[in-house]
Amino acid sequence: MSSAAAFSYAPLLPTGPDQTEYRLVTDEGVDVVNGPGGRRFLTVEPSALTTLTAEAMHDIAHFLRPAHLTQLRSIIGDPAASPNDRFVALDLLRNANIAAGGVLPMCQDTGTAIVMGKRGRHVLTDGTDAEAISRGVYQAYTKLNLRYSQLAPLTMWDERNTGSNLPAQVELYAEDPDGHPDAYKFLFMAKGGGSANKSYLYQETKALLNPTRMMQFLEEKLRLIGTSACPPYHLAIVIGGTSAEYALKTAKYASAKYLDSLPTSGSMTAHGFRDLELEAEVLELTRNFGIGAQFGGRYFCHDVRVVRLPRHGASCPVAIAVSCSADRQAVAKITPSGVWLERLETDPARFLPDVTDETLDAETVVRVDLNRPMDEIRAELSKYPVKTRLSLNGPLVVARDIAHAKIAERLDAGEPMPQYLRDHAVYYAGPAKTPEGYASGSFGPTTAGRMDAYVEKFQAAGGSQVMLAKGNRSAQVTRACQQHGGFYLGSIGGPAARLAQDCIKHVEVLEYPELGMEAVWKIEVEDFPAFIVVDDKGNDFFAEVTKPVLTVGRR
């Protein structure tokens, strides 16, 4: 072996200066004290950590970054955007405006609370930081109109909702943030199931590390993300990593723009860096998929981050992650001057364009009366091709994972399909808490694919003839719809607050009230937006746009 290189050290992810605009949350619970050797120490009380966390979880449930809103607004003004791109972007801006009122969260899946902190060596606490942070999560989720999504495993097979959205994922590091020993810095995230489920790890080899093979690989894998995580996405790709888990964690941070200030070239110190050229090429690649902002067009992604990490010579992990249209994260810091939180946009109305729905519509919107018998509803839908935009009016039944499992057990026991699934279209969703004076809490669609295994059985028994949710379905759903005359309608993933305020007029429990948000509900909707995705003739809009052509190369 050759002689060893001289010792040198660089952090794996060397970020640049913090350019964040902060707002002061409080100056209570922090103090500066003298220590040995003339050093000054920042003391932080548990109450300061709790207050900061509760405030952060509130803000990311209701507010977005101005940069994200600017990107949505730019879609509406882009002549190359499809009508469906522009319609989705406008709906998401309207949703942001409603959520900023502080009552309805922007998404009904208010997520797993994730907190990452870096505590400088001159910061003193009582050592219960994770507990104090978790208490802040608890305060936010129990006091606000947020949904409890965390399940406690009681046995290997039995689970129960914790009723508080705890536990949170809290990761704390002993590290001087940005070189400041008297600072404590944080990244707060709320990660819903839809976007969390679109985190991927691929174990590749050196053979991937050439321009042509890389672009072919990315075209194939990125198409598979589909739309169930609510695009337009902030897409992150990490190539390399000292371990598989480090690659995945880096991808999550990159999707939150946390690593935007990384260097843009590598060195023999083996630190990570961003490849700006490859980012631009991958963004253009996604523009040409045809998937668009959920129902055809260019805006599958807002932007792309590509991070290259060092790797073991025998390993080449590739991690992919997205942040969805509910782009929920904020950074924060505690310093001698107080407790500070990233300033998010509290007036998203300034991003709304002076246009009408008619300006955005390039084709007629088909109104569908859901009060009619199911055979008449299906006959109406059968007149139109996939990707047709609909406006739904009337009753929907709401059921998702646990309710589907219970109904499947009843069918297996020889019981008939419940009449409500024979008479009505079924909406896969689970609401957040209902604020006082509202008909519904935030109530957007959930990922359709989780119910794919039930479709053939349910349609054969006369139910689920028209389904409504977000994202693409499997080929077995397309076959079932063709065989049984069924339809799958895609709802816009993301604008849960707008749907609650403007489209959902009445909500009642039909069955399984003990399941909470997983109960079977009946709702009345008005001008509820949807698109035909799978029809009764075997056509699936996503079937074509998810096929890789594998002919791309790096220019």
C-alpha 104/C-alpha 62 separation (Å) is 7
To 10 degrees, the CA torsion angle through 59, 60, 63, 65?
Answer: 120
Q: What is the pLDDT of residue 555?
A: 40
Which amino acid makes up residue 106? Answer: M
Which amino acid makes up residue 154? Answer: L
pLDDT digits (tens, 9 = 90+) for 140-197: 999 999 999 999 999 999 999 999 999 999 999 999 999 999 999 999 999 999 999 9
DSSP label at residue 319: E
DSSP label at residue 478: H
Q: Which residue has the tokens 């690593």?
A: 259
554 burial level (CB within 10 Å; 0-12, 13-18, 19+): middle
C-alpha 135/C-alpha 29 separation (Å) is 16
Q: What is the pLDDT of residue 554?
A: 41
Question: 254-267: buried (b, 16+ CB within 10 Å) or exposed (e) per residue?
Answer: bbbbbbebbeeeee
What is the sign of the dihedral through the CA atoms of 87, 544, 383 and 492?
negative
Q: What is the pLDDT of residue 548?
A: 57
463 burial level (CB within 10 Å; 0-12, 13-18, 19+): buried
Residues of the chain below pLDDT 70: 1, 355-363, 544-555
Q: What is the pLDDT of residue 1?
A: 57
To 10 degrees, the CA torsion angle through 106, 112, 118, 124?
Answer: 100
| Phi and psi angles of residue 268, each rounded to the nearest 5 degrees, phi first | -75, -5
Q: Are 320 and 221 in contact (CB under 8 A)?
A: yes
273: which strand partners?
308
C-alpha 121/C-alpha 99 separation (Å) is 38
Tokens coding 31: 């103090």
Q: What is the pLDDT of residue 471?
A: 86
Q: Are 60 and 113 in contact (CB under 8 A)?
A: no
Residue closest to 76 by CA, chosen among 99, 92, 98: 92
C-alpha 187/C-alpha 56 separation (Å) is 9
C-alpha 217/C-alpha 236 separation (Å) is 15
Q: Are 42 and 123 in contact (CB under 8 A)?
A: yes
Indicate the pTM of the whole model.
0.87
C-alpha 183/C-alpha 198 separation (Å) is 33
Q: What is the pLDDT of residue 551?
A: 47
C-alpha 512/C-alpha 412 separation (Å) is 18
Please work out, in degrees rounded to the nearest 5, the angle formed at the alpha carbon of residue 278 by the alpha carbons of 87 and 81.
Answer: 15
**Strand residues in 222-311 grouped as ranges (E):** 233-241, 273-274, 301-311
